[in-house]
Amino acid sequence: MLWRTSAFGQKRKGWNVKSIQIFDGADNAVYDVFAADDEEFALIFPDGTDVAFIDDVYQNQPLDALNAAFTAIWKRRVLKREAMGIHGILFYECEHKKIYYPTRRDEQAVNPDGSKLR
């Protein structure tokens, strides 16, 4: 069985961890990173997406499942210097950024006129 060291310093048997960075619209936001297991990550980022907006997440997924997932995720803050990559970006209060991520995939970000950002 595969052993992995999670991004928050614990070894778990056969457990994959994905890092989610939170972008919050608050003036005092610190853009923390949190660890999610594959099932939790898939609830927030379905179908291969890696960008999500919290209002969309709650419109498209079961409330009980999301509440359970976020309860677990919020207990797993990862120090940025210890994160093993960023697998997803979750926006709070940043609806104005939706125009840049129409496919909800970071590498496909575009300007408002549709031209590529990268």
% residues pLDDT > 70 (the chain): 87
Q: Chain-wide mean pLDDT for the chain?
A: 90
Q: Which pLDDT score, from 0 to 100, does residue 10 have?
A: 44
Determine the average pLDDT of the residues in 2-14. Answer: 46
E-strand stretches of 11-111? 11-13, 18-24, 33-36, 51-53, 77-78, 88-92
% residues pLDDT > 90 (the chain): 86
Give the C-alpha separation, 96 to 45, whole Å: 19
Specify the 3-state DSSP secondary structure of 55. Answer: helix
Residues 18-54 have pLDDT tens digits of 999 999 999 999 999 999 999 999 999 999 999 999 9
